[in-house]
A and B are shown apart, each in its own frame.
Chain A
Amino acid sequence: MKEISLNILDIAKNSVKAGASRISVIITEDEETLKLEISDDGCGMSPEMVQNVTDPFCTTRTTRKVGMGIPLLKLAAEQTGGGFSIASSDKPDDHGTVTSASFYKNHIDYTPLGDVVSTVTTLIQGSPDTDWYFLHRFTGSGKSVELDTSQLRAVLGEDVPLDSYEVLKWIEDSLNEEYSEANAD
């Protein structure tokens, strides 16, 4: 993957597939590190599945017997000297998955974060009925970029879907505006 944002797009889709009603993508960044956490309230995985999930020959897909999504994220993190972890529960009253990865930004093998705004709009376009929460915190400046689609849905009401182009465009512009404010000195 050329950008970490593409890993995010790929991994968050696992949460959609797990039937999650709410999915959070949280990025915490300082001068040296970038931490990523994707959490959901989906069906979760059995302890055996969690054990095997970093193995590329473990997959839910039906078209072939390899699944590269998780291994690629793990590799992207570990090749910078960072780490990867996944925790999941499939208990009926407490289920969901948290996938975390940390990166050292100054390492030569660090892949840039890339176009994370495009990843967020693509996720919403693909799964407009999910509640998406996105937070990107810059701990150095204390600034952050935040989006909660449940707030947008409260404004839009029942009739206007989040995946209509005008709404997606508004989300894109809104996030870009927040980023330019967060990155301004």
Chain B
Amino acid sequence: MKSLEELAAIRDKMKSKVVLREGTGEIRVVVGMATCGIAAGARPVLNAFAEKVSEAGLSEKVTVSQTGCIGICQYEPVVEVFEAGKEKVTYVKMTAEKAAEVVEKHLKGGEVVTEYTISTAVS
């Protein structure tokens, strides 16, 4: 195992940021991770969101979480974005690459990537 001292260093670094973290979660990214989502490739999509959100410095604003089956298995991997005061955005047939684009354009830039939303991608 990597040294636990390294982990302790991460703890100390993060503790100093904890105060800033309060009042977070303005945006919630939820990835469908039931059997249907997992089989369709949701695991790399979730990991891409977690990584890119952190890289973009959005950890204080965006939380990435997992949920069960959303009920539209044929469009998995499905990702929902919830933002206070705005309508929910549902992205379908996601990939890690598309996830990186959504982080950059939507979560960071505020522009929904319409190309990948359920209303565009399905019709």
In the complex, number of A-B residue pairs with CB atoms less than 8 Å apart: 95
Question: A174 an interface residue at 8 Å Cβ cutoff?
Answer: yes
Majority secondary structure, B binding face: helix
From the candidates B1, B46, B69, name the one contacting A122 in the complex (CB within 8 A): B46
Shortest CB-to-CB span from B75 to chain A, Å, is 13
Residue from the set B2, B8, B73 with the largest chain A CB neighbour count within 10 Å: B2
List 7 A-B residue pairs with CB atoms under 8 Å apart, sorted by A's residue number.
Answer: A68-B39, A118-B43, A125-B46, A146-B1, A147-B1, A165-B50, A167-B14
A173–B71 contact, CB under 8 A?
no
B11–A160 contact, CB under 8 A?
yes
Question: B38 an interface residue at 8 Å Cβ cutoff?
Answer: yes
B47–A122 contact, CB under 8 A?
yes
Contact (A1, B65) CB under 8 Å given A63-B70, A166-B13, A167-B10: no
Query: Told that A165-B53, A166-B54 touch, could you supply 20 new A-B pairs with CB distance under 8 A?
Result: A1-B39, A10-B34, A61-B69, A63-B70, A118-B47, A122-B66, A125-B46, A125-B50, A126-B33, A126-B65, A152-B4, A152-B7, A155-B11, A156-B11, A157-B11, A159-B11, A160-B15, A170-B6, A173-B2, A174-B1
Nearest B residue to A151 by beta-carbon distance? B4
Nearest A residue to B15 by beta-carbon distance? A159
